[in-house]
Structures are given as structure tokens and as C-alpha cells.
Amino acid sequence: MRNSNLYTFIFISIVTIICAGLLSSAAFYLKDKQQTNVEVDMKKNILKAVKLLENNKMSQQEILDLYNQNIENYVVNNLGEIINLPEGILVEDIDPEKEDTKPESDRLFPVYVKKSRTVVLAYCIPILGKGLWSTMYGYLALEPDLNTILGITFYKQAETPGLGSEVEAENFQNKFIGKQIWDDEDNLVSVKILKLEPSPNSPNIMYEVAGISGATKTSDGVMNLLLKDLTKYETYFRNLRKELVQKEEI
């Protein structure tokens, strides 16, 4: 009996159905909690990039409150114009990864702005791109001059634990603070990631940081994705920078 094909077939069907049922119900009941985690994590990382997050021990509610009080957001298109989103769609819902697959003129690029009353304190944009194994997701925050890096974070990646996954580590991210993305001739140069610490005498030290040892591919990935994503916002940032110069002249 136990060797008959029918028994085998019935047995494996029962096992499969039970396992599938178990997994679907787990996925169903845990989904809300997992989604909240992802949403809070995203907002936490925007706050972290713009240096509003003081410690890691804040509750989820505190993070959401802090975010709502300090961060404004909108989307721009590839011509650098601010676009109104249709009713019911939030800027947070714009998935930069999906936007990359659209034709260039339809793409929307979210911008998160840290404001105190009407004064802009920082601009923050999502960044993402391939590392060695995975797509890395993060945020890059710029000072109001749109040149100096205020902060960078990565919050989702599946790089090698302990090596490439160090992109999430603070001591790697802190290396970017104060670096600049435009050169003296106003070209967008982004930041170059070297294998070693940049020499203190290097003329380009403002645009260079050291990569993660043992994770060259991940470091290269970070370098490429920074340039790629900053280029998307180049027109918009250029316009803003022109306005800044005009304001100074007045």
C-alpha cells in the first residue's frame, strides 16, 4: 500500500497543501506588520540622511511624527519641473525602481525636503542600483547649496554580510559627509570611490572617498548608482543652483 503510486501521490498532495496553507496564512497575518516596518524604515532613513534622527531607539510612532513635522516632498520630471501628482497618490508611493523602466519623459523623481518654516535645510533623493549580489536602496541628502553631501544611507541590500553589507554601516556612510558633487567648472562629477583612503594631497579629495575593503564590486556599485541617480536630478538641481546664484547677486 505505502509503495503504491496513488498513496505517494495523495501523501505528497496533503503535505503540499498543509505547507502552502501554513505559509499563506503566515504571509497574510504578518503582512501589515512587515509593511509598516518597511514604511517606517524608509522614513527613518530619510530622517537619518538629513540628520534629523538622533538615536536608533525611537519608537515607530515617534519616527512618523518627526517625519510628518519636518519633511515636505514633491516630484519633478526629467526637465526639472515640479509635477502635481494625481489625487490619492503620495510621493512616498513613487517607486524609483519602477520609474526607471518608463520612457524618459514620463519618469517622476521624488524629492524630499527638510524645512524649518519656509527655509530649506536639506534636499534628499532616493538612490538605488546594483551592487555585487543585489540592488541597494538608500537616500542621499544634500545641503541647501545642492553641492555638499549632508548624509547618505542604505537601508535595503543583500550584499555579502560583513563585507558589502557594510554599506549600511555608519563609518562607511560618514565618509561621504562634506564631499561635493559639482566641480569648479560646474560639471556634475558625483563622488568617486577609491580602493584606498584618498591621499590628503589629492587635488580631487573633495570628490573622493575610500571604498569598503573586501567589497570592491559593492563599492563600485555605490559609485555608479550615485552618478546615475544624481544625473536624473541634474536639470532640476542646476535650475535651483542658478536661482541660488541669482539670489546671492541680489
Partner 1 sequence: MSNKKTFFEPIIHNNPVTIQILGICSALAVTTQLKPSLVMGIAVTVIIAMSSLIVSLIRSFIPKKIRIIVEMTIIATMVILVDQILRAYMFDVSKQLSVFVGLIITNCIVLGRLEGFALINKPIPSILDGIGNGIGYSLILVVVGAGREILGAGTLMGYSVIPQSLYNAGYENNGLMVLAPGAFILLGLIVWLQRAVTGHYEEE
Q: Is 2 in the site for partner 1 (CB under 8 A)?
A: yes
CB of 193 to partner 1, least distance (A): 17
- 156, 137 Cβ separation under 8 angstroms: yes
13 binds partner 1 (CB under 8 A): no
Cβ 49 vs Cβ 153: under 8 Å:
yes
Residues forming beta bridges with residue 130, ordered by sequence position? 135
Pairing state between β 149-156 and 135-142? antiparallel
22 binds partner 1 (CB under 8 A): yes
Q: Which residues contact 37 (CB under 8 A, 6 or more apart)?
A: none
For the bound state, the minimum distance from the C-beta of residue 156 to partner 1, rounded and expressed in Å, comes to 7
Nearer to partner 1 by Cβ, of 33 and 117: the residue is 33
| Interaction of residue 23 with partner 1, rule CB under 8 A | yes
How far apart are CB 34 and partner 1 at their closest, in Å? 5
Shortest distance in whole angstroms from residue 218 CB to partner 1 = 13
89 binds partner 1 (CB under 8 A): no
**Residue given cell 496513488 in the structure block:** 6
- Which one, of 126, 71, 123, lies nearest residue 94 by Cα? 126
- Do strands 119-130 and 135-142 pair parallel, antiparallel, or not at all (unpaired)? antiparallel
CB of 8 to partner 1, least distance (A): 5
- Minimum distance from residue 235 beta carbon to partner 1 (Å): 34
Q: Which residues contact 51 (CB under 8 A, 6 or more apart)?
A: 122, 141, 150, 151
12 binds partner 1 (CB under 8 A): yes
Residue 174 in contact with partner 1, rule: CB under 8 A:
no
**54 or 81, CB closer to partner 1?**
54
Longest Cα–Cα distance of the chain, Å, equals 93
Residues 124-143 that bind partner 1 (CB under 8 A): 133-134
Indicate which single residue of 98, 145, 162, 231 sits in contact with partner 1 (rule: CB under 8 A): 162
Q: What is d(CA 114, CA 120) in angstroms, rounded to the nearest whole number? A: 6
User: Contact at 8 Å (CB) between 174 and 160?
Assistant: no
- Total binding residues for partner 1 by CB under 8 A? 33
Q: Provide the binding-site residues for partner 1, judged by CB under 8 A.
A: 2-3, 7-8, 11-12, 15-16, 19, 22-23, 26-27, 30, 33-34, 37, 41, 133-134, 155-163, 165, 168, 213-214
